[in-house]
Structure 1
Amino acid sequence: MTDPRVRPMRFADCDRVSQIRVRGWRSAYRGLVPQSYLDALSVSADAERRRARFPHTADGVVNLVAERAGEIVGWAAHGPYRAGETPTDDAELYALYADAAHLGSGVGRALLQESVRQRSSHPRMLLWVLKENTRARRFYERAGFHADGAEEPFEVDGVTVPEVRYVKRLGH
């Protein structure tokens, strides 16, 4: 299988990115968040929100897609670290999803490497991951990220789901 090609996301990619994101949630978070929430996720509603926001992407936010043989097989988003009202010099990986048929094939790794490369002028890259999402945690640990001890509750349909923060030192 050839390495995926990573490029900036285009407006025309919104539907496929939403499909990957919703399917990713349903797969990765099964048993970790309420099933009612996962069942209620809508690809068309997600795509509609994504298309509406696309022309107004916040400063510094980058959306990337990975393609293989012309098909979008993954999506990642990164930008400035969101630390409440306090600006920091750090970067954050907001999301990274690979199409289920391409898990373990290098798609996630390619998207993560490009996100890190694009943010290499920042001191660190941080990300949040569900505490019980062991597959994702192993993936980030193999890429040089480590949990830094910070935890935050994430509420989904009235259920508290803990997230842990991971960090990786970058170019500085």
Structure 2
Amino acid sequence: MGEPTRIRDMRLDDVDAVAAIRVRGWQAAYAGLMPQAYLDGMSAAEDAAERRARFAVAPPEVVGLVAEQGGGLVGWAAFGPVRAVGGEPPHPAPEGELYALYLLPERIGTGVGRALMDACLLRAAQQGFRSLRLWVLKGNARARRFYERAGFRADGAEETYEVAGAAVPEVRYLRALPPAGEGPHRPSQGPARSPGSS
């Protein structure tokens, strides 16, 4: 039986730990999918400085959650209003986006990711979002399986962005959310993201 996991709102004093989780998450998840020199050159200190500045001006509808075990942070997720892509028209129902979901690599497969995801789905529904989108690297098979188990499905949208001169393709996933107050429902079969912005 693993350590108990506590999910709570991210605080300003969590920024350094969140930056370390994000950098280690990128380096573990994106090896072979992005230039290795870029991943090796990532700095948790630089990420923390940028994240601290973002945290200070983030609107209230952008939510950061952290997973805590044994007094230390082991995971982080963030969601908020959906970002427009390619001049798309507004959607008739409020739509949210899961911007990021990262764990310390050694916590993958321990249930922490599922706990963070469940908390995001619940909070997003409570905020009135009727669906949640996310972007995931096309070649990140493990993350895609995780999102599919959580009820997300690829909706056919794809885009490519550049990382250190290399084209990195992403696919978009979508999941409907229950009305506020009902809580997240798992799909009957079973139980993040845009790297450029998180």
> How would you bin the TM-score normalised by the shorter chain?
over 0.9
2:165 corresponding residue in structure 1: 158
Q: Amino acid of the residue matched to residue 72 of structure 2?
A: E
Give SS of 1:171's match.
Answer: coil
Instruction: Note the residue ranges of structure 1 that are not aligned, 5 or more in a row.
Output: none
Letter in 2 for 1:149: G
Name 2:193's counterpart in structure 1.
none
Amino acid at match of 2:139: E
- The aligned runs of 1:64-143 (5 Å cut-off) are 64-84=65-85, 86-88=89-91, 89-120=94-125, 121-143=128-150
Q: Which residue number corresponds to residue 5 of structure 1?
A: 6
What is the CA deviation profile of residues 24-44 of structure 1, one whole-angstrom value per residue up to 9, with x for unaligned ones? 000100000111211121010
Contact kept in structure 2, 1:3 and 1:106, CA below 8 Å: no
Cα RMSD after superposing both structures: 1.3
- The CA deviation string for residues 116-153 of structure 1, in whole angstroms up to 9 with x for no partner, is 10111322100000000000000000111111111011
For residue 87 of structure 1, report the CA deviation from its aligned partner. 4.6
Aligned length: 172
Partner AA of 2:34 in structure 1? V
Question: CA contact under 8 A between 1:125 and 1:167: conserved in structure 2?
Answer: yes
SS state at 1:14 partner? helix
1:57 aligned partner, one-letter code: A
CA distance in 2, matches of 1:165, 1:51: 27
Between 55-64 and 144-153, the greater mean CA deviation after superposition: 55-64
Please report how far the alpha carbon of residue 2 of structure 1 lies from its aligned counterpart in structure 2 after TM superposition.
3.2
Identity %: 54
Distance 2:4 2:145 in 1: 21
Residue 43 (structure 1) aligns with: 44
Describe how 1:52-67 pairs up with structure 2 within 5 A.
52-67=53-68
Instruction: Look up the SS of the partner of 1:31 in the other structure.
Output: coil
Aligned position for 1:167: 174
**Aligned-pair CA distance for 1:53:** 2.0
More moved, 37-46 vs 47-56: 47-56
